[in-house]
Amino acid sequence: MSKPNAEAMAFLQTRRSRPAKTLGLPVPTVEDLRPVLTAAARSPDHGKLEPWRFIVIEGAAMARLAGVVQDRGAALELGAEQIAKGRSQFDQGNLAVTVIEVQRPSEKVPPLEQTYSAGAVCLSLLNAALAAGWGANWLTGWCAHDRDFMRAALDLEDHERIAGFIHIGTETATPPERPRPDIESITTWLSR
């Protein structure tokens, strides 16, 4: 057995996402983000396909994406409340790293495993940002699943989709702790 890393285990057992609306300035610089992105890219990746990539959204791009959400919501005839909720992560956000799932042709690695890998990258990015001292939150919302939004906002190809928007910034409020899963009720032990 390897030597335990008690500090890492304590972090993982107590980690907590921060609500995106409570993340303020300053946000990470390019130099601050590189090690966070490097840590996220060390996620499980069967076949070394790298079935994901990053798009960093900041500054005026956040406002542009809010506008695209508004336009797409209107085109989809969504209600004002649903459109406002979709816009809010970009209206209130200062920086987000978008994890893009990139489906790669592979005889050995099925598409679902590539999707799982992109999800692992989202969680790793979230945890790396928290470990680096930033507040962070993983969001999606209806716009993350709308193909026309993906094209208009991020110029995604048909074999790409949004796995998540990881908002990163300075924590301005600490949310109260919430109930966590009861491990005994969700775990089955098989010994034969």
**Tens-digit pLDDT profile for residues 64-84:** 999 999 999 999 999 999 999
Closest CA to 168 of 30, 10, 12: 30
pLDDT of residue 154: 98
CATH topology for 18-57+94-171 is: NADH Oxidase (3.40.109)
Q: What pTM does this model have?
A: 0.95
**Tens-digit pLDDT profile for residues 4-47:** 999 999 999 999 999 999 999 999 999 999 999 999 999 999 89
Sequence-distant (6+) residues with CB within 8 A of 91 are 62, 63, 66
Q: Residue ranges of the domains in the chain?
A: 18-57+94-171
Which residue reads 């799982």 in tokens?
116
pLDDT of residue 1: 87
Q: How confident is the model at residue 127 (pLDDT cuts 50, 70, 90)?
A: very high
